[in-house]
Amino acid sequence: MTSKIGKLELTWVNKEQRPRLEPRLLLEDPSKSYGDPKSPNMLIRGDNLLALKALEQDYGGEVKCVFIDPPYNTGSAFEHYDDGIEHSIWLSLLRDRLEVLHRLLKPDGSIWITIDDSEGHYLKVLCDEVFGRANFLGTVTWEKTTSIHNNATYFSSATDLVLVYARDIAFFKMGRIERSERNEQDYSNPDNDPRGAWSSSPLHVSLTSGQRGKQFAYTGTSSGLFAIIGPHGQEIFPPKGRCWGYSTETLAEFEAKKLIWWGKNGRNQPRLKRFLNENKEGVVPTTLWLAKDVGHNQEAKAENAKLLEQSAQLFATPKPERLLWRVMQLATKPNDLVLDSFGGSGTTAAVAHKMQRRWITVEMGEQSDTHILPRLRRVVDGQDFGGITEPAGWKGGSGFKYFELAESLLVQDKALDIFYVNPKYDVDMLIRAICKVENFRYRPLGRWHGYSSETHFIHIVTQILNQPYLDMLATDLGERDALLVYCTKRESGLSLPPNVKIKRIPKDLLAKCEFRPDLK
């Protein structure tokens, strides 16, 4: 970790090396799509970094909540993930994915990342770089198990971390969690207030923390150090190390509205009354989430075991549906879009579906077919009776589409050291892929195959481009329009209008991104 002008920056080997990602096409497999064919929900099988890049053009700035449970890089051997890769590689892999996720989030969106303390503190600094330290919302400590593992070397790990960041904290609004019976018991009505049951909170705050603390340290004074006159005419000062959290004008307003409680004898420290019937939306979440409230790993394994075929291998550390229920209560509302790019056993998608959120989940391994697909079919059919099904009131419905990543647009002949168009691409796929690589939205309209703005268009020619064809295209352009033409071949000596640019296939595509079958 180094410091640049007071800013902490995490460094690692090959940090500056970033893949120039090819934005692949997403190809639906109708035989695996399920339920309502108009459903916006997407299950994508393929490399999650390439899948995120494939989504970026259409879903950039559209995702309300990202929940990911990435490999923890603990050195243990998991059935479904390589969870022991070298530290610097792990940081690069996470950084590349987080940067795309950042671009996919809505301005009022948030990201929730589960991790343990093996890499959690490095991930925190990495997220500070990607999302901005000012957008850090907090770290939740989740009780993942209630068992003690006596074979542990030093500590029996009982908790995981959930790092939470807003896309832009100025726009993010945290939801509330439902009141428990214990929360309800916090309210009473000892003074028979006609407004009903109430709880109270102190009127004083810390004198020595935050900006207030800095002011007090520099000056030895605070605007919150003054006397309040109690019901019996006595002067009441805040306790030592504290100061009043409200101005004299605000306190007078509270008193006029009979919102201050002085205790039964009228001589206690004053407290602010908060009425139950005025605070129906729930309670502010704490950073400690207990297993009894949000579930644990064993609960999640039991949920999975009921949903999977006997031959399917259970995940070692799946997340319980109640954990995702809590996250989506706090971060989303019905019809919001939820994204999980480490799909695992499909818990995020299942919970989002039952809570009537739109969802996209990505999984590169075979568990997209062996775990997620059968699970989500049962959710759609209303045949998943566990998890949050009952509290969510889920009876079944909607559906999802199943997608796979197309192969790379260009293929390399290593012997000749040349690239050529993948023979599996037909003309329509070629046109759609070039639009995506050049960041044009594929929207065929008249002669144009796509647009990047109201005045910038693209046209792809699969035959030789000659002067008559070029002139025909130019006649459809307005004075302020611009056109990009891609072609495989062109006549020599073409006369180009000033608002037309020509690029060659595949030569000019190679400058846009890397074309390779796999990300290594």
Taking the C-alpha atoms of residue 372 and residue 366, their distance in angstroms, rounded to an integer, is: 9
Boundary residue ending a domain (366, 382, 405): 405
- The predicted model gives 447-454 an average pLDDT of 94
Judgement on whether residues 204 and 146 belong to the same structural domain of the protein: no
Contacts of 355 (CB under 8 A, 6+ apart): 325, 328, 332, 334, 388, 392
Range of the domain at 481: 410-509
Taking the C-alpha atoms of residue 518 and residue 47, their distance in angstroms, rounded to an integer, is: 8
Position 498 confidence tier, pLDDT thresholds 50, 70, 90: very high
Judgement on whether residues 370 and 297 belong to the same structural domain of the protein: yes
Find the range with the poorest average confidence among 115-119, 275-279, 289-293, 309-313: 309-313
Axis crossing angle, helix 87-104 with helix 120-131, rounded to the nearest 10: 40
Taking the C-alpha atoms of residue 49 and residue 342, their distance in angstroms, rounded to an integer, is: 10
Position 6 confidence tier, pLDDT thresholds 50, 70, 90: very low
Q: What pLDDT, in 10s, does the model give residues 346-362? A: 999 999 999 999 999 99
Angle CA(361)–CA(366)–CA(370) in degrees, nearest 5? 85
Supply the pLDDT for residue 8. Answer: 63
Q: Is the N-terminal amide bond of 517 cis, ω within 30° of 0?
A: no
- CB count within 10 Å of CB 362 equals 28
Residues facing 503 on adjacent strands: 486
Residue of higher predicted confidence among 445 and 329: 329
Boundary residue ending a domain (363, 387, 405): 405
Instruction: Judge whether 18 and 93 are in contact, CB under 8 Å.
Output: no
In a domain, 329, yes or no: yes
Judgement on whether residues 273 and 308 belong to the same structural domain of the protein: no
Position 407 confidence tier, pLDDT thresholds 50, 70, 90: very high
- The predicted model gives 475-480 an average pLDDT of 91
Judgement on whether residues 137 and 242 belong to the same structural domain of the protein: no
Model confidence at 236: pLDDT above 60: yes
Contacts of 288 (CB under 8 A, 6+ apart): 140, 141, 143
Model confidence at 253: pLDDT above 50: yes
Supply the pLDDT for residue 415. Answer: 85
Residue of higher predicted confidence among 343 and 153: 343
Boundary residue ending a domain (405, 429, 455): 405
Taking the C-alpha atoms of residue 144 and residue 158, their distance in angstroms, rounded to an integer, is: 6
Contacts of 435 (CB under 8 A, 6+ apart): 441, 442, 449, 450, 458, 460
Judgement on whether residues 158 and 31 belong to the same structural domain of the protein: yes
- pTM of the complete model: 0.82
**What does the block give as tokens for 418?**
């040349």
Judgement on whether residues 112 and 169 belong to the same structural domain of the protein: yes
Taking the C-alpha atoms of residue 349 and residue 387, their distance in angstroms, rounded to an integer, is: 13
Judgement on whether residues 173 and 190 belong to the same structural domain of the protein: no
Model confidence at 34: pLDDT above 70: yes
Supply the pLDDT for residue 151. Answer: 84
Position 318 confidence tier, pLDDT thresholds 50, 70, 90: confident
Supply the pLDDT for residue 330. Answer: 97
In a domain, 15, yes or no: no
Model confidence at 19: pLDDT above 70: yes
Judgement on whether residues 351 and 218 belong to the same structural domain of the protein: no
Instruction: Judge whether 265 and 247 are in contact, CB under 8 Å.
Output: no
Model confidence at 511: pLDDT above 90: yes
Contacts of 184 (CB under 8 A, 6+ apart): 276
- Each as own residue / partner, the long-range contacts of residues 432-435 (CB below 8 Å, 24 or more positions apart, any chain) are 432/25, 433/24, 433/25, 433/406, 433/409, 434/409, 434/458, 434/460, 434/486, 434/505, 434/509, 435/460
Judgement on whether residues 476 and 490 belong to the same structural domain of the protein: yes
Residue of higher predicted confidence among 284 and 52: 52
Strands 337-340 and 63-68: parallel
Judgement on whether residues 499 and 461 belong to the same structural domain of the protein: yes
- The predicted model gives 271-294 an average pLDDT of 86
Q: What pLDDT, in 10s, does the model give residues 68-105? A: 999 876 554 344 556 556 788 889 989 999 999 999 99
Supply the pLDDT for residue 1. Answer: 52
DSSP state of 367: H
Supply the pLDDT for residue 7. Answer: 56
Closest CA to 352 of 370, 373, 371, 329: 329
Secondary structure of 111-148 in HEC code, one letter for each residue: EEEEECCCCHHHHHHHHHHHHCHHHEEEEEEEECCCCC
In a domain, 514, yes or no: no
Supply the pLDDT for residue 315. Answer: 62
Find the range with the poorest average confidence among 131-140, 147-156, 387-396, 507-516: 147-156
Taking the C-alpha atoms of residue 114 and residue 484, their distance in angstroms, rounded to an integer, is: 44
Find the range with the poorest average confidence among 73-87, 167-181, 301-315, 398-412: 73-87
In a domain, 483, yes or no: yes
In a domain, 377, yes or no: yes
Closest CA to 175 of 325, 303, 35, 289: 325
Judgement on whether residues 41 and 172 belong to the same structural domain of the protein: yes
- The predicted model gives 249-265 an average pLDDT of 91
In a domain, 8, yes or no: no
CATH number of the domain enclosing 321: 3.40.50.150
Domain count of the fold of the chain: 3
Judgement on whether residues 56 and 172 belong to the same structural domain of the protein: yes
Tokens 């009131």, located at residue: 393
Model confidence at 443: pLDDT above 80: yes
In a domain, 517, yes or no: no
In a domain, 9, yes or no: no
